[in-house]
Chain A
Amino acid sequence: MKPTQHPKTSALLFGVVLFQALTLQAGNVREELAGSKFRLVHEVYANNNWELFVTSADGKSSANLTNTPDVNELYPQASPDGAKICFLVDSGKGRATVRSLWVMNSDGTGRKKVTDRARQQCWAPDSQTIAFLPQEYPKFNVTDYYTKGISFHHLPSGNTREHVNTKPLHHLYNISYAPNGKWIVATVHAGMGHRHTNLLIEANGSKIINLGIDGCRPTFSPDGKHIAWGAGDHELAVVPIDIESDNPKLGKKVFQVFDKQNKIYHVDWSPDGRFLSFSRGPNGKGDITKPGTYEAACEIVGVHAKGWDIFAVKVARGGSVTIGHKPVYDWQPLTRNGYSNKESDWFLPPSK
């Protein structure tokens, strides 16, 4: 016969156990990231100019990587090996703006232009090839899906080639390469016969699969077993996927991040797949009194986003996190100045 317990004692013990379980599941993001060697490169609008900053994984240190008062750098993407960063540069004003694709070493040295009128780039798994989306028309437009086709630039040879099935690829944005090199995931808006959806595009073939999920900006986890994306203005989600299949299908959501008040966008995986970073801030349409910026939704590349910061959250399978007003165990602000911090990308700098 088991000894009896007072009901209040039982409730107290249950509460302690539940609290410990939740805490263990969520982890303490702040402490775990404090010892990390990971870095995040992201956009910042500083001193009337777009710059790329590199911030430590716990957000305690941050440095201006580009430091170019006369050049607007945007949309940084770190190579899988952490050695290089490709990014965009906006030159000129208004419809005469030229958005070009550049690459540099991840320490900021060795800047080199790749091509003009390109955007929404990502790295292939070889860390030597950059996939990018050519602009739809020569004239500038800030719209994210203002693209036509996919092209690849091979850095060692300097050669650029079109995707083998580039002709029907229209109005894609936010491409992300699967780690096995087999697929590219992207959002399409008003193109390719779709109103709006997310697609898997065969990297070296003509197969295109509609993933059938709303939202935008999908990105593969480093092991290729999951996709994270913005399921809405106020939700990020993670689903499993089998990229080795010839007809990959998505599973059910295994992790979600919610924010009831602010928009949350631009999700990216840490190199070990344990954390997600994202941009978070209030709704708005920019401030075109700021040089080098445009008027559109704040989450669009090149739009000034007052009050936006970079956040990190630990991926807890089967869980969800709601971002509130105070940092708790399972989420952490990495920037706090609100200087239009957007489009973060994690990387592990190569050891010297």
Chain B
Amino acid sequence: MTLQQFTGALGLLALGLANGCGPAQSSPAEPQLVTTASGVSMIVIPAGSFQMGSDEHEADERPRHEVRLGTFLMDQFEVTHDLFVKAQLPNPSCWQDDSRKPVERVRWREAKLYCNERSLMEELTPCYDEAKPGWPCDFNANGYRLPTEAEWEYAARAGSSRLYSFGDVAKLKANGWFADNAGKRTHVVGTRRPNAWGLHDLYGNVSEWCQDVYAPDYYKSSPAHDPLGPAEGIADTKRVMKGGSWKASASMCRASFRKGQRTGDTDACFFTDYCGFRCVRRVMAAEVESFLGKSSPEK
């Protein structure tokens, strides 16, 4: 896909994030809001580094360590019923009273299938190879995929090193749907405040699948640059979920909280009604230039 096709498809929009943008560590640029060819709002997450994990909470969050990531695009909202149906996938969700709600009861494999469907809709190269067992991910493909755990936490923190990007737990009700305010159900996406980078619902509503295999001790040995998680398991390995949900405690919504979740891929019926997701995709250097309004080689 050429840059011209890409920028035309995205319909680049500047987002007034200057006021809300926190002190992103090593961030070369401010985040930008873009709209993809299939009409999905995404945020260009600038490259940078951050402190991942926590030395003060659960054992699997230790040690706190520095991670550096490249630029990537992340969905502004969790994937909704509307988007799932647009991809011609059967909506497995419990709460189907509003199509703007996030999909839940989504198996890990189904989340990956959605990523591939959206890639195909936008004429991108799918990341997941559906012809191979476990559908391995090609991180070099330009299509959509699930975020790595590091990408998710980096985006959720939005430059903050506190428990939540917006500060402490007292502000959680204004910033996310969780057990204390959700009324035991999901809510329409984007109805709580965004974080400093313009991303909604990273704290609560539905927990979000990540690409990584879950290993409690992974942080002790994870690489400092673009960590992809432990090696793939053979069996129905647990995967990382982040962000808490409508039924989670405030502590489970912390940016550094990790949950190992069975994928549901071997279950005929998957009843875990807090499992949702959002997509990311890598962006080429030329694309970043266009996002940031700089010169591009094709201009």
Residues of A near B117 (CB, < 8 A) are: 95
A195 CA / B95 CA spacing, docked (Å): 8
B269–A141 touching, CB < 8 Å: no
Enumerate A67-89 residues with CB–CB distance to B below 8 Å. none
The secondary-structure label for the interface of chain B is loop
Instruction: Say yes or no: B265 contacts A285, CB within 8 Å.
Output: yes
Report the number of A-B residue pairs with Cβ-Cβ less than 8 Å: 64
Assembly CA distance A298 to B5 (angstroms): 42
Q: Contacts A136-B90, A285-B236: A295 and B133 contacting too (C-beta < 8 A)?
A: yes
Contact A143 B271, CB 8 Å, known A285-B266, A288-B131: no
A141, B265: Cβ atoms closer than 8 Å? no
Are B268 and A144 within 8 A (Cβ)?
Answer: yes
B105 contacts which of A190, A298, A299 (Cβ < 8 Å)?
A190
| B268: chain A residues within 8 A (beta carbon) | 144, 216, 233, 265, 296-297, 299-300
Residues of chain B lying within 8 A (CB to CB) of residue A284? 266
Number of interface residues of A (CB under 8 A): 32
- Given A285-B266, A288-B131, verify A190-B271 contact (CB < 8 Å): no
Min CB gap A96→B, angstroms: 11
The 0/1 profile, CB within 8 Å of B marked 1, for residues 36-59 of chain A is 000000000000000000000000
B266 and A298 within 8 A (CB): yes
B217 interface hit (Cβ, 8 Å): no
Output the least CB separation between A340 and chain B (Å): 15
Taking the closest CB of chain B, its distance from the CB of A45, in whole angstroms, is: 16
Contacts of B105 in A (CB 8 A): 190
Neighbouring B residues of A285 by C-beta, 8 Å:
109, 236, 265-266
Which listed residue (B88, B131, B133) contacts A94, Cβ 8 A? B131
Known A94-B130, A288-B133; judge A283-B90 contact (CB<8 A).
no
B139 in contact (CB, < 8 A): no
A296 touches B109 (CB 8 A): yes
Which residues A119-173 have CB closer than 8 A to chain B? 136-139, 141, 143-146, 171
| Distance from A106 Cβ to chain B, minimum over Cβ atoms (Å) | 29
Q: Report how far A300 CA is from B267 CA in the complex, Å.
A: 9
Tell me if A190 and B91 are in contact (CB < 8 A).
yes
A138 to B265, CA, bound (A): 23
Contact partners of A138 in chain B: CB under 8 A: 88
Hey, which bits of chain A sit against chain B, CB under 8 A?
Answer: 94-95, 136-139, 141, 143-146, 171, 189-190, 193, 195-196, 216, 233, 265, 283-285, 287-289, 295-300
Q: Please, which residues of chain A bring their CB within 8 A of the CB of B267? A: 297
Query: A195: which B residues are within 8 A, CB to CB?
Result: 94, 271, 273
The answer to whether B265 and A287 touch across the interface, beta carbons within 8 angstroms, is no
Task: Say yes or no: is B294 at the interface (Cβ < 8 Å to chain A).
Answer: no
Quick check: B266 and A196 within 8 Å, CB to CB? Answer: no
A190 touches B96 (CB 8 A): yes
Interface string of B247-267 (1 = CB under 8 A from A): 000000000000000000111
Q: Please, which residues of chain A bring their CB within 8 A of the CB of B131?
A: 94, 288
B269 neighbours in A (Cβ, 8 Å): 189, 196, 216
Question: Can you name the residue of chain B whose Cβ is closest to the Cβ of A265?
Answer: B268
B132 interface hit (Cβ, 8 Å) = yes
- Residues B266 and A283 in contact, CB atoms below 8 Å apart: yes
Q: CA A216 – CA B269 in complex, angstroms? A: 9
Interface string of B77-102 (1 = CB under 8 A from A): 00000000000111111101000000
Shortest distance between the CB of A149 and any CB in chain B (Å): 14
Bound complex: CA of A265 vs CA of B266, how far in Å? 14
Can you report 12 A-B residue pairs in the complex whose CB atoms are below 8 A from each other? A141-B89, A143-B90, A189-B269, A190-B90, A190-B93, A285-B236, A285-B266, A288-B131, A295-B133, A295-B135, A297-B267, A299-B268
Give bound CA distance, A137 to B199, whole Å: 31
Least CB distance from A17 to B in Å reads 43
Q: Which of B92, B94, B131 has the most CB of A within 10 A?
A: B92
